[in-house]
A and B are shown apart, each in its own frame.
Chain A
Amino acid sequence: MMIKRSGMRLSATVALVLAVGLLAMPAGAQQENTPPGYALRVAKVVSFDDAERVINNAVVLVRGTAIEAVGPVDEVEIPADYVVREFPQYWLVPGLTDPHNHSAAGGWFDLNDMVYQANPGLDTRSVPRADNPWILQARTGGVTTVIMIPGSGTNMSGFGTLVDTAGRDPNEMLIRSPGSLKIAQAGNPEWYFGGNGRMFMNWNTRQTLQKARLYHESWSRFEQGAGPQPAFDPTWAGFRELFTREMPVTMHTQMYQVLLATMDTMYDRFDFWTVLDHCTFDAWKLGPVVAQSDAWAINGPRQYHYDRTARRMIGNASGWWKNGVRRLGINTDAPVIPQEELSYQAAMACWYGWLPYHALRGITRINAEALGLGATHGSIEPRKQADLTIWSGDPLDPRSACLLTMVKGRIIYDGTTETARRF
């Protein structure tokens, strides 16, 4: 009830701000779409390219939807017709990516269809809502790419949808659908139907995946000319990319035993492209197991855990890192944690012992790679999609604000034109 009311208040505020904004500068928003290119002049570009370049006093050229060039001021020539935005004291980093997000739905209603203990037929493809209040919040925090996954009320809650946080309609937002399969092995679904243990849940989830595997295998045999054509089944068709590793499984997994079960079932038995989302609590103690795999560990929200053994707070990300896990990112679980606080989650990970550069990398490049977007997203390099953000300082410094968010070459949030931040 309270959520609903505050949500309404939020939307009302957003509507008001938007209306005021539109009245104040009716031409501005339209103009932004038209220039042939942007030249962004900044104090520092943290590129997260393969050379791990950090370029001081730099210019980033954006043409169309892509990054055209990036380099020091004196090496990059700015074409005459480009719109130049001057941020000579500020940082430019890739747009942030959140691999565990529910907020593209824009409301709590569409998050979780708890029909069965495992729901292989469900898909969030119809859920993302353009310009919803939560998405606007995401832009304010520099978040440009999210995977909109269903909630964790059941063990298998459906396919997620990979979207930009920009776009005038759901199709324009769409990057990939299905974007991942969402599975939660524990830490919520046990409440379903009056109580389940992990013995039953893990067995049951595997049963469902086993059906999907048999469907995939029968189609594979057919495609190789070694079997009859099976009947098409929309429930299982989407699963095929899991078995060919073209799509990840997004695991809501947390706590030692649950993560262990994830590595056992999803990684070892099914050999999935495994993204261990949300892997908080003491899951980091399984670092030696995860480090030997090619699974991605995405930690958050909540970056610390009171460790009963050490009798003190332990930074989860720090624990993963020190246990050798390098495919390490950070997520928010927005709107449980507001989407704009993704950078703050990374800052918190550093407060509890992780390293700032790697934490920033963990909310940009690592997260993009975890979702299979490494070729187009996650770093400031020519020909990559122009998803970038400009910050008033180090994005991991809680005092810093995101001042400009660009997605596909389009400015979708401009903090410089507003007297007060929306959120």
Chain B
Amino acid sequence: MWNHEHRTPRPSVPGGCRACWVVAVWLGVSGAVLGQPGPRPGGPPPPPPERVALTGGKIIPIVGVPIERGTVLIEHGRIVAVGAEVEIPYDARVFDLRGKVVLPGMINAHTWRGLDIPNEQRPVVPQLDAYDALDPSQLFFEDCLRLGHTVVHVIPANNTVIGGMGQVVRPIGLTVPEMTLDDGQFLKMSVTPRPGFDRMMQMALLRETFLELDDALAQLAERRYEEQLKEEEKEIEVGPAEARRRGLPLIRAEDLEDRYRNLVRLRGGRVRVDEQESATLLPPLGAFMYCGDAMDVAPAVEFARKHGFLERTVLVLGGETFKAIADVRNSGCDLVMPEELTYREVDPLTGHISETFVPRVFFDAGLKFALVPGQDDSFPERMLVYRAAQCVRHGIPRDVALRAITLHPAEVLGLGQRFGSIEPGKDAHLVVFSGDPLDFDSVVEQVFIQGIPAYDRAKDVRLQRLIAPRPATVEAPQTSAPTGPQTARTTRPVEETQPTPAPQEGSE
């Protein structure tokens, strides 16, 4: 009984303005923020504009054809109109985006970034939730803004057996509730062995977890029946099997311990005892199931089918899994692509190297998939647009590639109705590019998250500092005279270059 908890419900995202405040800190103007006395003078800062119109830009709505010089009208964080001829209310805040390109906010469907560590040491922790470790202050979220990733599914990483729940967040907000877009609908599982395990151990633990669940639920059913008899001051007069049968309908959601609750949700939210099922006690839950190798796909699918959550399972695929494409296709599961899109093999005998562009295999098989960013901050693979561009390079049509970073990841998360395209009724997550999103010369100029102007490249102090032209480095004259400075190289601004020019190699 003691062993369960619920989060105190909070108003969902009340402080869009507070979120903006955080963004301000992120963007490096914390000097100015520090200068503010705490409770801001004159009360809280103004709320985000109720009506926002983005006009004049080329709109790539993902669903439907691109609109040259169109308008997106946003009200209270939702898109209300899209088109070439949209009447703009007089009180809307208008952003003139002529010459720009507007794309839906991109969606990172699978990352552990934002947590303190990728996985807990304990292998089976279905009761845990990324909520408890999510750190809104991490630079990762600032980078998400910079890259136009507006929806992030933060979920424990792959080195686990059952790793805990994820959270779907936006990269702005002072607190986790402010960031939260949707309470996670997925539990992380892995059939690929975690470090130190082999496949037998991994599968044995998975099976054992559910056997223990069955046992605990059977005992719970018996106990509930006994408790009812006690209330009615009756003696137990039936055998254990009958007691379980009678106790099953008496089980309430709050009777389930934390470590069993999410497993019950995984099975559809119904308690199953002796092949009988209770009514639905809890909302069902899906699984993000990691299959690192081709050989892992079949056991993963079989396990999910056996326990009744296959239709809510997303397969998180490793590079080699394209070799099990038939199993993947037959599973009917939604798919998340590996972080490494190119699978590379070396023939041990001939030394021949073969490379496979993994998404292409799935595309050729007629399957939909979500692309995810690479985890390494120093490579362009961390950019979803770059991933889409890679797909185009390998012959996947442009619209499919764009869908794989917007609408498909939204659908994978079960949030296709809210995110992933520019359509009336959807949350206003929009990214403004300087040019075509898949052109590597294009940059993210602005980001709107639920209508909040969340990012402006011109105010991105950290980025400006990074890309600002550096003062020229001048090679000091290498004369034999001992009068020069001891240091061979000196750095000084161009305008201070000495009147007698240094040798040519020093002009850079």
Which of A193, A197, A287, A309 sits near B117, CB closer than 8 Å?
A197
Select one of A210, A282, A285, A321 contacting B3, CB under 8 A.
A210
The segment from A257-265, A369-377, A414-422 that touches chain B is A257-265
Chain A residues with CB below 8 A from B176, complex form = 260, 264
For residue B156, which residue of chain A has the nearest CB? A199
Contacts of A325 in B (CB 8 A): 38
Residues of A338-379 at the interface with B, using a CB-CB cut-off of 8 Å, are none
Contact of B133 among A197, A211, A214, A263 (CB under 8 A): A197
B12 at the binding interface (Cβ < 8 Å): no
For B136, the chain A residues whose CB sits under 8 A away are 256-257, 260
A269 contacts B by Cβ under 8 Å: yes
- Report yes or no: B115 in contact with A319, Cβ–Cβ below 8 A: no
Are B34 and A198 in contact, with the CB atoms below 8 A?
no
Q: Is the CB of B1 within 8 A of A198?
A: no
- Partner pick for A199 among B8, B38, B115, B137, CB 8 A cutoff: B115
- Flag whether A232 is at the interface (Cβ < 8 A): no
Q: What is the minimal beta-carbon distance from B328 to any residue of chain A, in angstroms? A: 30
Measured CA separation A324–B36 after assembly (Å): 9
Whether the pair B133, A288 counts as a contact (CB closer than 8 A) is no
B46 within 8 A of A: no
Q: State how many angstroms separate the Cβ of A149 from the closest Cβ of chain B.
A: 23
| A310: Cβ under 8 A from any B Cβ | yes
Whether a CB of chain B sits under 8 angstroms from the CB of A207 is yes
Question: Is A89 among interface residues, defined by CB-CB distance under 8 A?
Answer: no
Tell me the complex Cα distance, A413–B125, Å.
54
Q: How distant is the Cα of A205 from the Cα of B36 in the complex, in angstroms?
A: 36
Q: For the complex, is B239 an interface residue (Cβ under 8 Å from A)?
A: no
For the complex, is A200 an interface residue (Cβ under 8 Å from B)? yes
* A190-211 interface code vs B (CB 8 A; 1 in, 0 out): 1001111111111100110011
CB atoms of A288 and B116 under 8 A apart: no
Q: Which residues of A contact B39 (CB under 8 A)?
A: 291, 324
* Contact between A257 and B137, CB atoms less than 8 A apart: yes
Assuming the contacts A199-B130, A257-B116, A282-B137, asked whether A322 and B35 have C-beta atoms less than 8 A apart, the reply is yes
Given contacts A309-B26, A309-B28, contact A199 B34 (CB under 8 A): no
**A65 interfacial by beta-carbon distance below 8 Å:** no
A266-301 CB mask vs B (1 if < 8 Å, else 0) is 001100000000000010011111010000000000
- For B2, list chain A residues within 8 Å (CB): 207, 210-211, 214
Inter-subunit contact A256/B135 (CB<8 Å): yes
> Does A323 make an interface contact (CB < 8 A)?
yes
Q: A353 to chain B: closest CB distance in Å?
A: 8
Give chain A residues whose Cβ lies under 8 Å from the Cβ of B499. none
Identify which of B8, B128, B129, B130 contacts A268 (C-beta below 8 A): B8
- Assuming A207-B258, A324-B38, is B133 touching A285 (CB within 8 A)? no
Does A196 lie within 8 Å of B38, measured CB to CB?
Answer: no
Contact with A along B108-128 (1 / 0, CB 8 A): 000000011101111001011
Q: Is there contact, CB below 8 Å, between A200 and B8?
A: no
Q: Could you tell me how many residues of chain A have their Cβ less than 8 Å away from some Cβ of chain B? A: 46
Measured between beta carbons, the chain B residues less than 8 angstroms from A203 are 127-129, 132, 258
B5 within 8 A of partner (CB)? yes
> B116: nearest residue on chain A (CB-CB)?
A198
| B129, B132, B174: the one within 8 Å of A288 (CB) | B174
Partner of B38, one of A269, A282, A323: A323
Which residue of chain A has its CB nearest to the CB of B27? A309
Query: Given A203-B128, A203-B132, A288-B21, do A309 and B462 touch, yes or no (CB 8 Å)?
Result: yes
- For A324, the closest partner residue in chain B by CB is B38
Taking the complex as formed, is A223 at the interface, i.e. its CB lies under 8 A from any CB of chain B? no
Would you call A309 and B128 a contact (CB within 8 A)? no
Residue among A186, A199, A260, A322 with the most chain B CB within 10 A?
A: A199
* Residues of B close to A206: CB separation below 8 A: 5
> Is B31 interfacial (CB-CB < 8 Å)?
yes
B306 on interface, CB distance cutoff 8 Å: no
B3's nearest neighbour on chain A, judged by CB, is A207
Q: Which of B37, B133, B175 contacts A322 (CB 8 A)?
A: B37
Which residues in B have their C-beta under 8 angstroms from that of A309? 25-26, 28, 30, 462
Is A307 interfacial (CB-CB < 8 Å)? yes
Q: Is B352 an interface residue (CB 8 A)?
A: no
Give the residue name and chain of the A residue nearest to B135 (CB): A257
Would you call B7 an interface residue if the criterion is a C-beta within 8 Å of the partner chain's C-beta atoms? yes
Q: How long is the Cα–Cα vector from A285 to B22 in the complex, in angstroms?
A: 9
Q: Is A308 an interface residue (CB 8 A)?
A: yes
In whole Å, how far is A158's beta carbon from the nearest beta carbon of chain B? 20
Q: Which of B372-392 contact A (CB under 8 A)?
A: none
Distance between Cα atoms of A407 and B34 in the complex (Å): 39
User: Given A260-B176, A309-B462 in contact, is the A198-B132 Cβ separation under 8 Å?
Assistant: yes
Q: Is the CB of A199 within 8 A of B175?
A: no
Known: A257-B137, A287-B38, A322-B35. A199 touches B30 (CB 8 A): no
Q: Is B37 a contact partner of A269 (Cβ separation < 8 A)? A: no
The reply on A314 being an interface residue by CB < 8 A is yes
B256 within 8 Å of A (CB atoms): no
A197 and B119 contact, CB distance less than 8 A:
yes
CB pair B462–A186 under 8 Å, yes or no, is no
Task: Enumerate chain A residues within 8 angstroms of B168, measured Cβ to Cβ.
Answer: none
A200 touches B122 (CB 8 A): yes
- Known contacts A195-B121, A196-B120, A199-B115; A261/B132 CB under 8 A: yes
Cβ distance B187 to chain A, nearest Cβ, rounded Å: 13
Shortest distance between the CB of B273 and any CB in chain A (Å): 25
- Which of B1, B34, B116, B139 touches A314 (beta carbons < 8 Å)? B34
Q: A333 to B318, alpha carbons, bound, how many Å?
A: 47
Q: How does the 8 Å CB contact mask read for B404-442 relative to A, with 1 for contact and 0 for none?
A: 000000000000000000000000000000000000000
- Residues on B with C-beta less than 8 A from A286 are 174-175
Indicate if B338 sits at the interface (CB-CB under 8 A): no
**Contact string, B123-155, partner A, CB cutoff 8 A, digits 1/0?**
001011110111111010000000000000000
Q: Which of A186, A199, A289 contacts B120 (CB 8 A)?
A: A199
Which chain B residues (209-260) contact chain A, with CB distance < 8 Å? 258
Q: Which residues of A contact B38 (CB under 8 A)?
A: 287-288, 291, 321-325
Q: Which residue of A lies closest to B40 (CB)?
A: A324
Contact across chains for A200 and B30 when beta carbons are under 8 A apart? no
Closest residue on chain A to residue B4 by CB atoms? A210
Q: Contact between B135 and A310 (Cβ–Cβ < 8 Å)? A: no
| Alpha-carbon gap, A412 to B440, bound state (A) | 73
- Let me know if B34 and A200 touch, CB within 8 A: no
B57 within 8 A of A: no
**Which residues of the other chain, A, contact B139 by a CB distance below 8 angstroms?**
308
Are A200 and B120 also in contact (CB < 8 A) when A256-B136, A256-B137 are? yes
Provide the bound-state CA to CA distance between A201 and B462, in Å. 34
Which residues of chain A are within 8 angstroms of B127 by Cβ–Cβ distance?
Answer: 203
B129 surroundings in chain A (CB, below 8 A):
199, 203
Shortest A192–chain B CB gap in Å is 11
**CB-CB < 8 A to A324: which residues of B?**
37-39
Q: How far is the CA of A314 from the CA of B21 in the complex (A)?
A: 18
Ordered nearest first, which 8 A-B pairs have the shortest CB separation? A324-B38, A257-B135, A256-B137, A198-B133, A202-B132, A199-B128, A310-B30, A323-B38
Sample of 8 further A-B pairs with CB below 8 A, known A198-B133, A199-B120, A199-B132:
A198-B115, A199-B115, A199-B156, A210-B3, A257-B134, A260-B175, A261-B132, A291-B38
B residues contacting A by CB (< 8 A) are 1-3, 5, 7-8, 10, 18, 21, 25-26, 28, 30-31, 34-39, 115-117, 119-122, 125, 127-130, 132-137, 139, 156, 164, 174-176, 258, 462
Can you list 9 A-B pairs, Cβ within 8 angstroms, ordered by A?
A196-B121, A197-B117, A199-B133, A202-B132, A257-B135, A287-B38, A309-B30, A310-B31, A310-B34
